[in-house]
Amino acid sequence: PSGRILCLVNGAFSERFAHIASMCGREVDRYDVAWGQVHAIPQLEERLAMRKYSGVTVVHSETSTGALNDVRAVSDCAHRHGLVCLIDSVSGLGGAELRFDEWNLDYVLTGSQKALALPPGLSFGAASTSFIDRANATQGRGVYFDLVELDAYARRNQTPSTPALSLFYALEAQLKSIATEGLEARWARHKAMAARTQEWLIKISDETGKKLNNIAPLGSQSPTVSAIRLPTDLPAERFTAAVAKRGIVVGNGYGKLKSSTFRIGHMGDHTVESLEGCLAACSSVLRS
Amino acid sequence: PSGRILCLVNGAFSERFAHIASMCGREVDRYDVAWGQVHAIPQLEERLAMRKYSGVTVVHSETSTGALNDVRAVSDCAHRHGLVCLIDSVSGLGGAELRFDEWNLDYVLTGSQKALALPPGLSFGAASTSFIDRANATQGRGVYFDLVELDAYARRNQTPSTPALSLFYALEAQLKSIATEGLEARWARHKAMAARTQEWLIKISDETGKKLNNIAPLGSQSPTVSAIRLPTDLPAERFTAAVAKRGIVVGNGYGKLKSSTFRIGHMGDHTVESLEGCLAACSSVLRS
């Protein structure tokens, strides 16, 4: 629907979401919290009560910070004010619990290359029937991202233009594998990987006396990615390069966290067992 | 640039180009010619002289009809009136002669799955420096197709978001193969395939007494695809099914030509030799 958008910003990708809304010609207000933090529902309530909006954008798992927003609560809050809620779950979906129908969500998008563990090149969106109806009543939807047309083709099991067919074969194989594991088991596996990372973090900090901490607070840590602040005398570039020498890739921080944090992507086909190798390599660098 | 757009329409994909311009909120006029025909430059001159436009859209090789527009002449004409010219060369580029710099073109787009003979899933656009400068001065460009951002990343050999990396490997291999063949040799090979198809068409019509003809006139036939009108008592569905039984896929007509024409895609990695098998299967059906 047309109208002003409130964008919940707590990292690089929620920032990007606000940028997209603005580049699409929308008037945008931001509700910013510190990178690594999540948004408070009472604060959100206040903002929505103060000004008339048509929609809220929120990022589920902030890939840049490893913070996990409670998108169900955000969506419920938006609905209480009669607004739609758009959810970016790029690194969330397939790794973090998300129940589209039960939670009464409006629109969720994701990519293939994160917790779904597919090659990059596909993106997916789920829209509620009422969201598509609202889109149908909205002008200037463009063509490439026109939900109404995408939905009409999807009902015939088609796409409006030629898709990346070779990746569809990978998708078919991976969806079978995901169904075999079971979504709840998959969410539990990701939670266990995040918990193991947090446990390791405390232990290695104690052991080495180095000050390392997860920038997302306990209870708001994404099950798919941990962003860990390094001691100031250990820049992320140096740390990740040393880890890479041990045959393991961990990421630098993203955006303004580039040098101060590193990120472990414990998602997709990874397991607590495969994560151990990564943590051992990180330990080895921190001990040296 | 903002302003009214003149869309040259002579088939399903040029129709789609007009639809895109209109869905992007542009005021659109159409210059229509019959499907299978191409646009006349003097007529285009007249229309551009009569009304103020900011741009012209044209399809190089109309995949739905096999008609080849003289995009160089169309672009020159647009430039004489101070307008930019946007060229869809989805089934043209890599098969039909196109010289971006020498012809002083503004913007050309194509897909991976046609004459470049790559898996579907990639699209390519080439924009002149002055076109990007004009984009930079234009509001409401969105994000996904923002040429200014795409250009800025391309200068660093990057993309603004994660691309379909696995297809980039196919692209790298195919570009090497295209460079080895040489672009002019590639254009000549496609021309020879179109000429061979036209020659076959006349011969098989003579031989069987059946009235078949290329819907694009001689001189305006695409080197990459031929759309051939069948006798009224032979619907395309029946013809292409019979050809398929002989192990060869030819296409039905597209859009309103669905039942009255069939299409041979002689493009990509095909050669005059590999085309012979296709023509033999078509002959066999027409003789039976």
Distance CA A285, CA B11 (A): 63
DSSP A53: -
Residues of chain B with CATH 3.40.640.10: 5-178
pLDDT grade for A70, boundaries at 50, 70 and 90: very high
Q: In what order do the strands lie in the sheet with A28-32?
A: A28-32, A5-9, A55-59, A84-88, A107-111, A123-127
| Distance to chain B for A21, nearest Cα, Å | 9
Distance CA A221, CA A211 (A): 18
Choose the mutation target among A109, A167, A169, A171 for the interface with B, i.e. most B CBs under 10 Å. Answer: A167
* Ranges of chain B whose pLDDT falls below 50: none
A167-184: string of b/e by CB count within 10 Å (b at 16+)? Answer: beebbeebeeebeeeeee
Is 90 exceeded by the pLDDT of residue A142?
Answer: no
Q: What is the pLDDT of residues B219-256, one digit of tens each?
A: 999 999 999 999 999 999 999 999 999 999 999 999 99
**Cβ pair B48, B6 in contact under 8 A:** yes
pLDDT grade for A1, boundaries at 50, 70 and 90: confident
Contact B166 A119 (CB under 8 A): yes
CB contact B3 to A (< 8 Å): no
**Cβ pair B281, B243 in contact under 8 A:** yes
CB contact A120 to B (< 8 Å): yes
Question: Where does residue B81 rank: exposed (0-12), middle (13-18), buried (19+ CB within 10 A)?
Answer: middle
Q: Which CATH fold topology does B183-287 show?
A: Aspartate Aminotransferase, domain 1 (3.90.1150)
Contact A164 B25 (CB under 8 A): no
Our separate counts of H helices and E strands in chain B read: 9, 12
| Distance to chain A for B143, nearest Cα, Å | 6
Average pLDDT over residues A167-191: 98
B159 Cβ neighbours under 8 A, 6+ residues apart: B150, B153
Contact A23 B120 (CB under 8 A): no
The partner residue sitting opposite A121, judged by closest CB among B121, B144, B146, is B121
Residues of chain B with CATH 3.90.1150.10: 183-287
The partner residue sitting opposite A20, judged by closest CB among B24, B140, B143, is B143
In chain A, residues with a C-beta closer than 8 Å to the C-beta of B142 are: 20, 23-24, 142
Is 90 exceeded by the pLDDT of residue A252?
Answer: yes
CA B187 distance to own-chain centroid? 14
DSSP B12: H
pLDDT at A25: 87
pLDDT grade for A141, boundaries at 50, 70 and 90: confident
Contact A143 B24 (CB under 8 A): yes
SS3 A221: strand
Contact B166 A162 (CB under 8 A): no
Q: What is the pLDDT of residues A201-239, one digit of tens each?
A: 999 999 999 999 999 999 999 999 999 999 999 999 999
CATH 3.30.479.10 given to domain A5-178:
no
Is 90 exceeded by the pLDDT of residue A33?
Answer: yes
